[in-house]
Amino acid sequence: MSETRVVSPTAPSTVTADPAIMAGTLEEVEMEALLDTGTAMWAVVFAGGIGTRFWPLSTPRRPKQVLALVNERPLIADTVARLSPLVPADRVLVVTSADIADTLHDAIPEVPRANLLIEPRPLGTAAALAWGAQEVSRRAGPDTVFVALHADLAVGYPDVLRDALRRAAAVASADRLMVALGAKPTRAETGFGYLQPGTPLDPLVSRAEGGACRVEHFVEKPTPAIADVLIERGALWNTGIFVWRARVVLDELEQYTAELQFGLPKLASDEMAQFAELVSSVSIDRGLLERSPNVVVLPVEMEWDDVGTWASLRRVRELDDTGNGVMGEVHCVDCSGNVIHADGCCVVAYGISGMIVVSIDGLTFVTTQDRATELGPLLNALPGSLRFNPGRH
């Protein structure tokens, strides 16, 4: 069952905006701020797990991150591509697990193999962030600005995203702040997190003009009624895209994330095995952002969505004239509002609506979009050979 969480920062921040941001033109300040860091922008991409909610397409041999779910490129390749040229591939770090590292690297050969940070065990995103920040600091300096994001996000306008990252970098470079990108909600989504903007960071640049605001509070997984109220009050979706300096992130994690407290000294001395043993799993949102008063949200006018389930693909794929989101050799007759994925085969759909149809390697999976949001009960009921190796059937 979803749980609504409303969290306010622990205390008001006393950091003030840099006068240069208030005085100069936005574009000039953005570029100057990036140059003032002494190094170019980096990225840390979280790409762990196999993505069981995309069964039968996702398996240990074919994890979600290498699937072409939104367009013809694997999700991880799409993520790396949309950061370029602002963040070239050699400045992208990917945090992942040993079982899928080779498969991931095959999908993004432009990223150096040394840039894959392979966890000794699943650490949680807060610990993964700490490792990424420490590595950015080691390679490029502690005041280097980097963006942290997940590999399974869909962004409709990459150029808008890159412009937002430049603006966020200007804020992060000027002060000890952590910047979250916020997207305008398009529906009362109960599975996302919401950020309530508060006081504008710069009194001369309002939120309506695209200015950053301090985060008044967080709300995670609200009920539909609460989501409606949040949207009416101007709350933004938490996109899971963050911009900050390496030094600031590590200091904030040390101060506010008790789950990492005993492991961070080991991480700083490059003792990764001991770090992994001493930390507890917690997310970035709950372990850091909900606790720190130094978080601001930057509104971004871009198409954004979380590629989380088969049902989400209707929102991020190009649709035909009757609202079907299809990929592969698919023929729809008198059909509407379906997601159909054909991998190495042909699917013919006739007279159906609101369905999920996935066909691969001799196996066809059919369900409704409502039931596709959680496949746990289905996978638990299947024999292991079918659950993990559907291509054998």
**Do 25 and 130 meet the contact criterion of CB atoms below 8 Å apart?**
no
Residue 101, number of CB atoms within 10 A of its CB = 17
Q: Give the separation between CA 358 and CA 372, rounded to whole angstroms.
A: 11
Whole-number percent of the chain with pLDDT over 90 = 68
* Residues ≥6 apart with Cβ < 8 Å to 347: 328, 329, 330, 331, 340, 357, 359, 364
Q: Which residues contact 41 (CB under 8 A, 6 or more apart)?
A: 34, 86, 87, 91, 144, 145, 146, 147, 165, 169
Question: SS3 string of 68-92?
Answer: CCCCCCCHHHHHHHHHCCCCCHHHE
How confident is residue 32, by pLDDT bands cut at 50, 70 and 90? very low
Mean pLDDT of 355-373: 92
User: Is the CA virtual torsion 52, 100, 77, 67 positive or negative?
Assistant: negative
Model pLDDT, residue 23? 39
Residue 62 is inside which H or E element, if any? none
C-alpha dihedral sign at 174, 176, 181, 184: negative
pLDDT of residue 203: 75
Q: Write out the two tokens for 217.
A: 């509070």
What's the pLDDT tens digit per position in 308-361?
A: 889 899 999 999 999 999 999 999 999 999 999 999 899 999 999 999 999 998
Is there a contact between 13 and 214 (Cβ–Cβ < 8 Å)? Answer: yes
**Would you state the pLDDT for residue 50?**
76
Residue 238 CB burial class (10 angstroms; 0-12, 13-18, ≥19):
buried
| Cα–Cα distance measured from residue 216 to residue 230, given in angstroms and rounded to the nearest whole number | 12
pLDDT confidence of residue 108: 97
pLDDT of residue 31: 45
What pLDDT, on the 0 to 100 scale, is given for residue 322? 95
Q: What is the pLDDT of residues 79-125, one digit of tens each?
A: 999 999 999 999 999 999 999 999 999 999 999 999 999 999 999 99
Question: Which residues have C-beta within 8 Å of that of residue 381, sequence separation ≥ 6?
Answer: none
Q: What is the pLDDT of residue 8?
A: 60
pLDDT digits (tens, 9 = 90+) for 288-313: 999 999 999 999 998 899 898 898 99
pLDDT at 13 > cutoff 50: no
Burial of 385 (0-12, 13-18, 19+ CB in 10 A): exposed
- For residue 221, pLDDT over 90 is answered with no
- Name the one residue in this structure whose structure tokens are 């993505």: 51
User: Which residues 6+ apart lie within 8 Å of 235 measured at CB?
Assistant: 185, 194, 195, 196, 197, 219
User: Which residues, 6 or more positions from 386, have their beta carbon under 8 angstroms from its beta carbon?
Assistant: 363, 393
Q: How far is CA 323 from CA 192, 216, 227, 336, 393, in A?
A: 24, 38, 25, 5, 31
What pLDDT score does 3 carry?
54
At 118 the three-state DSSP class reads: strand
- Predicted confidence at residue 26, as pLDDT, reads 42
Q: Which residues of 218-230 are buried (b: 16+ CB within 10 A; e: fewer)?
A: bbbbbeeebbeeb
Q: What is the mean pLDDT of the chain?
A: 88
Tens of pLDDT, residue by residue over 44-75, are: 999 988 778 899 998 888 899 999 999 889 99
pLDDT of residue 30: 43
pLDDT reading at 1 higher than 50: no
Number of C-beta neighbours around residue 346 at 10 A: 10
Q: Are 302 and 235 in contact (CB under 8 A)?
A: no
pLDDT at 389: 66
In the predicted model, what is the mean pLDDT of residues 204-227? 85
Work out whether the CA dihedral 66, 68, 74, 78 comes out positive or negative.
Answer: negative
